[in-house]
Structure 1
Amino acid sequence: MPEITGGQAVHDALVKLGVAHVFGIPSVHNLPTFDAILNGGKITPIITRHEQAAVHAADGYARASGRLGVALCSTGPGTTNTMTGLYEAAFASSPVLVLTGQTESTDYGKGRAAGHEHENQFAMLQSVARTGGSPKYTKDLAPTVFRVAADILNGRPQPGAIEMPIDIQYGKTDVPVGHPIPVFPVAPDSSTISQAASLISEAARRVIVAGGGVISGDSSGELQELAEKLNAPVFMSGNGRGAISDDHELSMGTVLNRPRTREALQDTDLIIAVGTRLRGRLNAWQNLPGKLIHIDIDPQNHNLVHNADVNVIADAKQSLRALLDAMNAEPGDSDYLSGVRAAYEEQKQQTHERIGADMEAIMGCLRDSMDRDMVFVRDMTMPAYAWGNDWFPILAPHTTMNPNSGAIGPGLPLGNGAAVASGKKTVVIHGDGGVMVHIGELSTAAQHQLPIILIVFTDGGYGVLRGIQGQQFEGRNIGVDLATPNFAMVARGMGVSGEQVKGVEEFREAFDRAMQATGPYVIDIDLRTLAPMRGFGKRIEFEQPE
């Protein structure tokens, strides 16, 4: 085999893994790999403005596509910038690979103050990544990429990271690149499936809880088939939304842990939880009604919150298919289903009343204008809390995402990555405080003409925190009222179309123009011109350039 550089070896390994896009920033410590990407012509580099944003974008790409998301960053400060992105990807069970540079092998770990040196860089990466590698020789770069990628994709997806000393990227090897390590699904144990099938047959009032493992396990079809055969209501976690379409009659959204739902489910015989850690959903239940079948590929997720009667430690798709083949159950109690549905509709109506007619109209405008398979991204902002995360209808898998870790700011880069993955209009909602964290990524969207629509709900700062402070500290506020730019002007300064609007009708017209436009588009809407949402604190007066 002819000799190739280490950068070429990394490129060739990524190509064999099916990687089509890489997000990142060129640096003196990753130039050989970027050059190999340029010369190879099979991977498109998406150049971001910050390494954290590169990892968020790779994460958004992974969530929207179900494929490996890759970020290529620099050593030292560049790598420290990736940490929040890795942290978020871990929370979201997202298959993200971060490739970073490192100082020369002869300087590494010796404290010589070499350029961008970070002696404990790999240990830092390991603190948030499940798997990683720090190869010493050029010949080991491709095998390390294959090994780490396999670990990322094996079982419950989790991020991984590899640091690559600059000299081995420039170095040459005649060792063949090799091939990816196959990752096979974990098949369920037949006796466990039989036990689960028996419990299902014995029950009449059944509930299904779908988590993100249903989405990443490509098992939405099997889950819907199970629900329809059992006539069972389906509740979803935030990451599980889209496991069954919200316009399906058995979809009950994300309201499982709310008091009205618990009241409706008090006579439940059986809960079938699939691909979920059960944190934050069944967490509210001190004692579960009925029995529990828990299907999840990660052994650490079993008996985490509640002890199950049957634990199926296996791939969701294969487990659901095996259950469908093994069980001989009658459809569930229709009166029970009607009661659960009534509780869901009651809470839905209460939410629509709480958010007010204007926000309800905006939510309807977005859903009516977007195709079923367009991605909807929310940052940590009032409209997301009030309706975006739980009540905006999600109609297909891989079409919803928000920061799982609670971080403020990832929305825009997540949306950029999702838009690259889908190639379709991607809608991102942000608050005016959070959007400033990664406002530079508008430039990324402009450079690559990404089809995102960024909607900024402007209220002069951090409205949620303003409300909490007002309630807890006798009306006093600190650090929550911010200087607020005109985001349409900011967008235009970056070569992005944008407009500032007031009220629902202006928003409708602007969103229609955004949907018809090519490339990115920004809509800055003044929250003061909309009917207030109940429970989100006082409004303030603020100045915004026009």
Structure 2
Amino acid sequence: MTHDHDLVLRPTPAQTEAALNPPPGRNGGDLVVETLAGLGATTVFGLPGQHALGMFDALRRSDLRYIGLRVENNAGFAADAYGRITGEAAPLLLSTGPGALTSLAALQEAAAASAPVLAISSQIPTAGLGGGRHGYLHELPDQAASFRGVVKSVHTVRTQSQIPSAIEAAWTSALSAPHGPVWVEIPQDVLLAETAIPVVTGGDAFPEELPPRPELTAVAADLLSRAARPAIIAGGGVVRADASGKLKQLAERLRAPVVTTPGGKGAFPWKHPLSLQSWIEDRHTTDFLEDADVLLVVGSGLGELSSNYHTFKPRGRIIQIEADLGKLESNHPALGIHADARLALQALLETVPKRQDATAADRVQGVLAKVAERIAGQELTLEQELLASIRRALPGDSPSFWDMTILAYWAWSAFDAKGPNHMHSAQGAGGLGYAFPAALGAAAADPTRPVLAVSGDGGALYSIAELATARQYDLNVTWLIVDDGGYGILREYMTDAFGEATATELTRPDYVALAESFGVPGVRTTPENLEQDLAKALQAPGPSVVLLPAVLRMFAPTHLD
């Protein structure tokens, strides 16, 4: 009897000849880029450095497209967005020590948002590893230790023959649910040495599926079928699993209202009769969810931003579907189902009967009306009009990337993403400087659609150097910078907490003139002209900057009794 795993594909004579006589002039770096290409990669991001030159020289002999950014952290943000948009593992090539460490904040965001980033770093020569010779430039006592608490998996290479297998293992890890960043490190001498190893001609990396346990979905289906007031919280796991269609089917079958978290933006149609939209920071919404007798949480760990800052106290039974085992029941007791959102929702669709509820849509409209009334009472017309102007100017299928800025906090709750995988922000880890380099990565992934980045002036200064990258690669990104003179959200937090703000005011450049010095068109706009100026910038090919001087305020997240 022959089993599938006993079958061995025999090489053709031509393959044997090529393997026995590899082309001259290849080094360990060629094994890296050949393996990436064999796995299906087409684009890599990064920044060269002394120890990594073997990899970068090999790019010259490959068909991989290289997008080079000016700061490693920004290169990580670009790779993160590329991974989110394409669903592919995004290669990130880095140098040793300072170059590697500078990417850590971006990898933390990728880990928090489950973005598949394949970081490949150089290392000092093997003679200096494991307590050997010391004093190398960029040397760290244990470079991999700096990443173990951030990435999904760490893969170390010490010989050239290990390179293809290590990269394949990392690729599989990055794309197995939950997606996430992974780390591979290769010593300088291994990358530089000439190799006689055959050309890597293919990859065999199959991400592991994560199906639900059938006994758990049977219990979940029974609970949902008997629920009187079911409700659903949809998180980023729905978007990453491409499960928004199945979510919509299940919500309609159950007549269950749906609210999306900041990470789950676009997972459920904004104007659907069962849509509570994204007002998860509102106490009216929180009250409604607390009243559900069965609450289905899909692809969310119910963390700080998804639980109205841990004020959420559900009274009913929770069913939590989550691919990240560490997030399962980490904040609330639940029927925990460790599974990919798409597979778990499919299992429920196959077993949950239709439920009749003529009041569900009316109850949803009642909550949304209360939210609108509360916001209207806070005199925040400017902020709402700005979001409406952006929504009208941005094409419906264009992705947007938002920095940690007041307008982004508004967008988490009040912006219609128009579809899954369209709106992204740094709300996973909360680092500044995400929006613009991430938008560059998205534009590299899909040049057919204009991409919007939204930053405050504080966050913009983190990534201003990437205007050079935008121009060099002619990427279709429009960068909206809201200039309020400092770290606006921190100014508001400190004023509320201490009566006045400290260390929040910034001297900043003339952003329009600065953009134009990079060869990037810039325009200074007003709230009244924002829609027109933004639409014009988005329609023009290549990068552009729109500067909006404005001081914005946050809405109060709770209603006043």
TM-score (ref. length: structure 2): 0.89
**What residue identity is the alignment partner of 1:402?**
S
Does the alignment pair 1:301 with 2:327? yes
Q: Distance in 1 between matches of 2:129 and 2:100?
A: 15
1:17 aligns with 2:39: yes
Q: Tell me if the contact between 1:352 and 1:360 (Cα under 8 Å) persists in the aligned partners.
A: no
In structure 2, the residue matched to 1:380 is 404
Q: Is the 8 A contact 1:449 1:520 kept in 2?
A: yes
Deviations for 1:33-58, whole angstroms, at most 9, x for unmatched residues?
A: 222223211x2100100111111110
Picking from 130, 138, 143, the partner of 1:116 is 138
Q: Does residue 86 in structure 1 map to residue 107 in structure 2?
A: yes
Cα separation, 2, equivalents of 1:352 and 1:490? 38
Instruction: Report how far residue 342 of structure 1 moved.
Output: 1.5
The residue aligned with 1:443 is: 468
* Structure 2 unpaired stretches of 5+: 1-18, 557-561
- AA paired with 1:223? L
Map of 2:73 onto structure 1: 52
Distance 2:183 2:490 in 1: 34
1-side partners of 2:57 and 2:287: how far apart?
60
SS at match of 2:92: strand
Deviation at 1:352, TM superposition (A): 5.7
Residues 276-328 of structure 1 deviation map (CA, whole Å, 9 limit, x = unaligned): 112233473564232122112233222211111x3322221121111111122
Q: Does the CA-based 8 Å contact 1:245-1:395 persist in structure 2? A: yes
Deviations 1:26-81 (A, max 9, x none): 2222222222223211x210010011111111011112222212211111111111
**1:299-378 matched pairs, under 5 angstroms:** 299-308=325-334, 310-331=335-356, 333-351=357-375, 354=378, 356-378=380-402
Question: In the alignment, is the contact (CA less than 8 A) between 1:101 and 1:164 conserved in 2?
Answer: yes
CA drift of 1:111 comes to 5.0
Which stretch of the first structure deviates more once superposed, 424-433 or 460-469?
Answer: 460-469
Does the CA-based 8 Å contact 1:380-1:407 persist in structure 2? Answer: yes
**Following the alignment from structure 2 to structure 1, what is the Cα–Cα distance between the partners of residues 452 and 312?**
38
In structure 1, which of residues 393, 412, 416 is the aligned counterpart of residue 416 of structure 2? 393
Q: 1:174 is paired with a residue of what secondary structure? A: coil
Q: What letter corresponds to residue 479 of structure 1 in structure 2?
A: A
Structure 1 pair 298–468 and aligned structure 2 pair: CA distance change class (3 A)? closer
1:104 maps to 125
- 1:130-529 → structure 2 map (5 Å cutoff): 130-171=152-193, 172-174=195-197, 177=200, 179-256=203-280, 258-280=282-304, 281-282=306-307, 284=310, 287-308=313-334, 310-331=335-356, 333-351=357-375, 354=378, 356-385=380-409, 387-403=410-426, 404-423=428-447, 424-475=449-500, 477-501=501-525, 503-527=526-550
> Residue by residue, what CA displacement relative to the aligned partner does 1:363-407 show, whole Å, maximum 9, x if unpaired?
22221222222111111112122x222211111111111112121
Deviations 1:107-151 (A, max 9, x none): 334352123222321111223112011111001111100011111
Q: Distance in 1 between matches of 2:311 and 2:531?
A: 41
What residue is the counterpart of 2:5 in the other structure? none
Q: Does the 8 A contact of 1:415 with 1:428 survive in 2?
A: yes
Does the 8 Å CA contact 1:453/1:520 hold for their aligned counterparts? yes
Whole-angstrom distance in 2 between the partners of 1:71 and 1:206: 43
Contact 1:500 1:523 in 2 (8 A): yes
Letter in 1 for 2:517: G
Cα deviation for residue 248 of structure 1 reads: 2.3
**Contact 2:178/2:340 (<8 A) preserved:** no
1:56-67 equivalences under 5 Å are 56-67=77-88
Residue aligning to 2:90: 69
Query: Among 42, 54, 73, which residue is 1:32 paired with?
Result: 54
Output one character per residue of 1:312-361: Cα deviation in whole Å (capped at 9) or x when no partner: 22221121111111122323x33244223321232145436646333333
Cα gap change, 1:201/1:470 in structure 2, threshold over 3 Å: closer, same or farther?
Answer: closer
Deviates more, 1:435-444 or 1:508-517: 508-517
Q: Report what 2:13 is aligned to.
A: none
* Counterpart residue type for residue 515 of structure 1: L
Letter in structure 2 aligned against 1:196: A
Q: Do 2:260 and 2:277's aligned partners in 1 also have CA atoms closer than 8 Å?
A: yes
Q: Is the 8 A contact 1:102 1:166 kept in 2?
A: yes
Q: Kindly tell me: are residues 185 and 497 of structure 1, through their superposed partners in 2, closer, same or farther at Cα, counting changes over 3 Å?
A: same
Instruction: Determine helix, strand or coil for the equivalent of 1:504.
Output: coil
Residues in 2 aligned to 1:236 and 1:534: alpha-carbon distance in whole angstroms: 20
Alpha-carbon distance in 1 for matches of 2:474, 2:407: 27
Q: Which range moves more in the overlay, 320-329 or 46-55? A: 320-329
Task: Identify which range, 352-361 or 373-382, moves more after superposition.
Answer: 352-361
State the shift of 1:408 in Å.
1.6
Aligned to 1:541: none
- 1:226-271 Cα deviation digits (max 9, x unpaired): 1111121111111111111213222212334532123334542211
Verify the 8 A CA contact 2:301 2:329 in the aligned structure 1. Answer: no
Task: Check the 8 A contact 1:244/1:395 in 2, yes or no.
Answer: no
Give the corresponding residue for 2:10. Answer: none
Query: What amino acid maps onto 1:203 in structure 2?
Result: A
Q: Is the 8 A contact 2:393 2:531 kept in 1?
A: no
Give the Cα–Cα distance (whole angstroms) in 1 for the partners of residues 136 and 110 of structure 2.
30
TM-score (norm 1): 0.91
Contact 1:354 1:534 (C-alpha < 8 Å) held by counterparts: no
Q: Secondary structure at the match of 1:204?
A: coil
CA contact 1:9–1:142 (8 Å) conserved in 2:
yes
Unaligned 5+ segments in structure 1 are 537-546
Amino acid at match of 1:508: E
| 8 Å CA contact retained: 1:265, 1:340 | no
Contact preservation (8 Å) 2:527, 2:548: no
**Aligned-pair identity (%):** 30
Q: What is the one-letter code of the residue matched to 2:52? A: N
Structure 2 SS opposite 1:483 = coil
Structure 1 CA distance for aligned equivalents of residues 480 and 543 of structure 2: 11
* RMSD of aligned Cα (Å): 2.1
Q: Is the 8 A contact 1:488 1:522 kept in 2?
A: yes
